[in-house]
Amino acid sequence: MTQTMDSGSSVAPSGTMGYELPWVEKYRPLNLDDVVGNKDTIDRLKVIQNDGNCPHLLISGLPGIGKTTSVLCLARALLGDAYKEGVLELNASDERGVDVVRNKIKTFAQKKVSLPAGRHKIVILDEADSMTPAAQQALRRTMEIYSNTTRFCFACNQSNKIIEPIQSRCAILRYGKVKDEQILKRLLEICEMEKVEYTDEGLAAIIFTTEGDMRQAINNLQSTWTGLGFVNPENVFKVCDQPHPFLIRALLTACQEGDVDLAMDKLDEIWAKGYAAVDIVTTLFRVVKTMDRIPEATKLEFIKEIGWTHMKILEGVATVVQLGGLIARLCKLSIDPKQFQV
């Protein structure tokens, strides 16, 4: 364990710039009450925490939404002072092949540890989707044999990478994205504790760039504040290295008006700033959803084309020509959607 940070709800020391802990670590919640969002799932964990009898758990969800944090909070609450002795934490940076499962995990499971009454030792297997199927297979029987003394908690991004037999042994909890207003609330708390100067639009820009990933939101806040000293949209987009939505909006407006020359100029302007094609196309997608001036039917067509181009870009053709083709198709759609249908 390397955690030395403050609880989210307590006041953090005003950091001396330069040698500060990353805020994501400094403000990593230490108990379940401070974990934001996913209320239903966190409530289930709280029931387990109060009950004391932790089943095998499998937590899955997107990156940066509090999976590792909640498992650690739960283990800390269950074991208290015995945490050091009673928890074995393995993540993707540790060797976790079949041998480790056979030796390290088995030895830990057999070890005698004095724990609070009714509690179990906990093996935390973080980023479990990176374990090989063979290593997961090797866990099956171990989980059963030692289940009276040891419980397993898995955290992963993709639950389909966890073999079925392990899934069937676990209570499965799925975490969704953290809602925008919940991220905002957390950012405001951190701003207050760190005395960050911000505008409301600046925080909105951070939330726009992060799409429900709390870790990225906190990181972006810290980078903008330490790098540029003020959190407003311009600075946020400078730091986050994403095309400014205003530029993207102007591009889409030109497409909607069928003005291909203007649209290509806008594309060149964005491309000249050096953004990657994939960033441009994902921002296009995010911005088009929020543009009320585009009629619903056209919007759907736009999204279809953008999605198609995204696929092509991921296949490897990430050129400006590819994006130019997209712009051309979007303009075409706007001039007369029916005229060009084949």
Interface segment toward ligand ATP; rule CB under 6 A; list 31-39, 164-172, 221-229, 334-342: 31-39
- Residues contacting residue 76 through CB under 8 Å, at least 6 positions apart: 30, 31, 83
Whole-number minimum distance, CB 99 to ligand ATP, in Å? 24
Q: Which does 224 bind (CB under 5 to 8 A by kind): Mg ion, ligand ATP, none?
A: none
- CB–CB of 108/139 below 8 Å? no
Interface segment toward Mg ion; rule CB under 5 A; list 66-74, 93-101, 176-184, 287-295: 66-74
Q: Please identify, using beta-carbon distances, which residue of 64 and 233 lies nearer to ligand ATP.
A: 64
Encoding tokens for residue 251?
A: 């591009």
Q: Give dist(CA 205, CA 237) in Å, integer.
A: 8
Q: Which does 243 bind (CB under 5 to 8 A by kind): ligand ATP, Mg ion, none?
A: none
Which of 30, 90, 178, 193: binder of ligand ATP (CB under 6 A)? Answer: 178
Which of 13, 63, 80, 176: binder of ligand ATP (CB under 6 A)? Answer: 63
Q: Is 66 in the site for ligand ATP (CB under 6 A)?
A: yes
Q: Which does 334 bind (CB under 5 to 8 A by kind): Mg ion, ligand ATP, none?
A: none
Whole-number minimum distance, CB 158 to ligand ATP, in Å? 10
Interface segment toward ligand ATP; rule CB under 6 A; list 62-70, 202-210, 234-242, 315-323: 62-70
Q: Give dist(CA 221, CA 273) in Å, integer.
A: 22
- CB–CB of 231/195 below 8 Å? no
Q: Please identify, using beta-carbon distances, which residue of 6 and 265 lies nearer to ligand ATP.
A: 6
Q: Is 233 in the site for ligand ATP (CB under 6 A)?
A: no
Which of 41, 60, 68, 242: binder of Mg ion (CB under 5 A)? Answer: 68
- CB–CB of 28/67 below 8 Å? no
Interface segment toward ligand ATP; rule CB under 6 A; list 27-35, 193-201, 286-294, 322-330: 27-35
In terms of Cβ atoms closer than 10 Å to its own Cβ (0-12, 13-18, 19+), residue 258 is middle
Which of 73, 128, 162, 214: binder of ligand ATP (CB under 6 A)? Answer: 214
Encoding tokens for residue 262?
A: 């203007």
Interface segment toward Mg ion; rule CB under 5 A; list 60-68, 178-186, 221-229, 306-314: 60-68
Q: Give dist(CA 250, CA 177) in Å, integer.
A: 29
**Which pairs count as long-range contacts for 306-314, CB under 8 Å and 24+ apart, including other chains?**
306/281, 309/281, 310/278, 310/281, 310/282, 310/285, 313/277, 313/278, 313/281, 314/278
Q: Name the region of 55 (left: φ>0; alpha: ψ -120 to 50; beta: rest).
A: beta
- Binders of ligand ATP in range 69-108 (CB under 6 A): 69
Helix (H, G, I), strand (E, B) or coil at 30: coil
Q: Residue 156: which H helix or E strand, with range?
A: strand 150-156
Q: Which residues bind ligand ATP (CB under 6 A)?
A: 24-25, 27-29, 35-37, 63-69, 155, 157, 178, 186, 214-215, 218
Q: Which residues bind Mg ion (CB under 5 A)?
A: 68
